[in-house]
Structure 1
Amino acid sequence: MNRKWRKTALAGLTAAGMMASAVSAEDSSYKIGICQLTQHEALEQATKGFQDYVSEKLGDRVTFDVQNASGEVSNCVTVINAFVSEDVDLILANSTPVLQAAASATDTIPVLGTSVTDYPAALDLEEWNGVAGTNVSGTSDCAPLQQQAEMIVELIPDAKEIGILYCSAEPNSRYQTDIIKSSLEELGCSAEVKEYTFTGTDDIAAVTTTAAENCDVIYIPTDNTAASNAELINNICEPAGVPVICGEKGVCEGCGIATLTIDYYELGQITGEMAVDVLEEGTDISQMAVRQAEQVKKCYVPERCEKLGITIPDDYEKL
């Protein structure tokens, strides 16, 4: 059993025993395995925020083994299994596929997710009260989806067809799509909303081309595959004159006109705080509620908006 996820029995300890326990905790060293699905700005910032916070609190008592799965689910499994074999003290699972791999690989090592949109879907939980009740917790990167739907209507009010472009292999994208669609209905949006799904990098260009040919505006959720191919998407949509509204900053910088985004560095810092609580304070991870970033902001890309002739309200910040 992992040596750090355990409950210390304080009842009945002598004063000397309690002092010895405290000294032991101060002298403890930790190894954290970090697996990041792929290389793009949002995930990079979450990893950096996590490492910065934990390093600040634990100093040279913590070491990190940082691995990138290069966008391959099979690589996530391989990396996580290696962490489990090494009996690391904690695993940071950066993105939904990594979280799923970690949850399947161990029920003893504490696992903290980050850049994960929907924990119930990721963990296949039918009931959800914000706590997984297992060795898994973490942070969600889900920005207020109702407000993102409002952004679509605000910026492209005359749209006749709205396309939602995402990877069908990512359950977090499916979750966001469902909420965006229902939110648009609640807002009384009269546009037809269609889903355009690609299975991976190989068919993203063809699917994006079809979406650009048929839609007045495209929405992209916090989708890892789309984020890794944002430049490709932009090279199709911008010449076609189709604006793209995105679920997060990194995708927006690559291909979008605007986004309502969280700060992924802040998200990583919050996850780091949770890690320190588990490792140093002995907090029971099975009772830790999933947390979210506290700040969201409206942002836009001036050059792209100017090219497409889109006027942005004053309450948006430049990216």
Structure 2
Amino acid sequence: MKKILLVLVSLIFALSCGNKNDTVNGKTQNNSQQKAKFKIGVTQFMTHPSLDLVKKGFEDAIKQAGIDADFDEKNANGEVSTATLIANNYKADKKDLVFGIATPSAQQLANNITDIPVLFSAVTDPASAKILNSNVTGTSDKVDNVSQQLDLLLKLNPNVKKIGVLYNPSEQNSLVQIAEIQKRAKEKKLEVVLQGITNFGELAQATKNLLTQVDALYLPTDNLVVSGMQLITSEAINAKKIVVVSENSSVEIGALFTMGIDYYELGKRTGQMAVEILNGKPVSQVPFETSKQLKLYVNKKTAKALGIDINNPLFKGAEIVGK
């Protein structure tokens, strides 16, 4: 009897050890993957509301999926050299996945990392930015709304003949948008006056100069320009001129309107794509996407300052901000 009990105990012990070895060898891989803590690098080119919303949406999506992740957040503060350093550090640290917010940061990740999944967002044209490598995917903020926005501008102020565009010539995404603005403006017999800036210190004087030459401003999703949106909109309101923008956070700051996208939702969608990849889906099976969800946002306070009726039927269905 004792021998039988001894055999049974030995058998139970052996089975127990076998189960432990199975887990180590990956036979219960799904459970081990769920418990793993992923190292995710999040690099943002500079601080401004739209990019901040992208980051929040991305991280929220991953947390909501139950993924245990350690987010290593870095900000390049508008310096490409810093963005390059960040990318190289992520590579050396062997991150499980990296995320680049805005074109310059995404470019540095794509140019320097080939063996880690790279995701991007707030990139207007990933093809012209040359970041669509086999290990890269994400979401574009390119929207086909320029013609509609110019139509609304002209309905609000039929006297507009010249529109001014502030931009940073070194930002690839801005050049793509300017080409589209010029094309659509020409169709509507509008003259486009371009004003390039290369640093924040030039912004105030450039804005004042441009406002003396034009009837309204049309601003692309240029990182340098958006970072100075409060200054720009304040000057434009003082000059009694409309500012049209390309994303909703700038309307909240003081621009009159946009038929734009929600950058939080854009970041969230990118985070959902990251979850698929972290759960084992190949990057090649997660194609990049362009947001199709456009919504009209109008700033009530700015409309009042410009003498525009917020109850204008042209604003029907809009989300009113700046109350």
What TM-score, normalized by structure 1, do the two folds share?
A: 0.85
Residue 94 (structure 1) aligned with residue 94 (structure 2): no
- Determine the C-alpha separation between the residues in 2 that align with 1:307 and 1:240: 10
Alignment of 1:1-319 (within 5 A): 19-59=27-67, 61-123=68-130, 132-145=132-145, 146-186=147-187, 189-280=188-279, 282-311=280-309, 312=312, 313-315=314-316, 316-319=318-321
Provide the alpha-carbon RMSD of the alignment.
1.9
Deviation at 1:27, TM superposition (A): 3.6
Q: Deviations over 1:234-271 (max 9, x none)?
A: 23222122211111112223341111121111111110
Segment drifting more, 37-46 vs 302-311: 302-311
| Partner SS for 1:318 | strand
Deviation at 1:202, TM superposition (A): 2.2
Segment drifting more, 144-153 vs 165-174: 144-153
Amino acid at match of 1:163: G
Q: Is contact 2:139–2:289 with CA below 8 Å preserved after alignment?
A: yes
Deviation at 1:28, TM superposition (A): 3.1
Deviation at 1:41, TM superposition (A): 1.4
Shift in CA distance, 174/255, structure 1 to aligned 2, threshold 3 Å: farther
Q: Is contact 1:156–1:217 with CA below 8 Å preserved after alignment?
A: no
Deviation at 1:133, TM superposition (A): 4.5
The percent identity for this pair of structures is: 33
- Determine the C-alpha separation between the residues in 1 that align with 2:134 and 2:152: 37
Amino acid at match of 2:90: F
Deviation at 1:162, TM superposition (A): 1.1
State the number of aligned residues: 292
Segment drifting more, 132-141 vs 101-110: 132-141
Gaps of 5+ in 1: 1-16, 125-131
- Determine the C-alpha separation between the residues in 1 that align with 2:251 and 2:77: 21
Q: Deviations over 1:69-117 (max 9, x none)?
A: 2222222112221111101011110111100111111111111001111
| Partner SS for 2:212 | helix
- Determine the C-alpha separation between the residues in 2 that align with 1:33 and 1:42: 19
Q: Deviations over 1:113-165 (max 9, x none)?
A: 011111112227xxxxxxx3421110111232333333333333221111122
- Determine the C-alpha separation between the residues in 2 that align with 1:67 and 1:151: 39
Amino acid at match of 1:76: A
Deviation at 1:170, TM superposition (A): 1.2
| Partner SS for 2:127 | helix
Q: Is contact 1:230–1:254 with CA below 8 Å preserved after alignment?
A: yes
- Determine the C-alpha separation between the residues in 1 that align with 2:281 and 2:155: 44
Deviation at 1:179, TM superposition (A): 1.0
- The higher radius of gyration belongs to 2
- Determine the C-alpha separation between the residues in 2 that align with 1:74 and 1:177: 25
| Partner SS for 2:271 | helix
Gaps of 5+ in 2: 1-24
- Determine the C-alpha separation between the residues in 2 that align with 1:305 and 1:250: 16
Higher normalized contact order (CA 8 Å, seq sep 6+, divided by chain length): 1
Amino acid at match of 2:281: T
Amino acid at match of 1:123: K
Amino acid at match of 1:54: I
Q: Is contact 2:143–2:292 with CA below 8 Å preserved after alignment?
A: no
- Determine the C-alpha separation between the residues in 1 that align with 2:69 and 2:234: 43
Q: Is contact 1:80–1:102 with CA below 8 Å preserved after alignment?
A: yes
Shift in CA distance, 154/283, structure 1 to aligned 2, threshold 3 Å: farther
What TM-score, normalized by structure 2, do the two folds share?
A: 0.84
Q: Is contact 1:150–1:184 with CA below 8 Å preserved after alignment?
A: no
Amino acid at match of 1:273: Q
Aligned partner of 1:129 in structure 2 is: none
Deviation at 1:283, TM superposition (A): 2.1
| Partner SS for 1:78 | helix
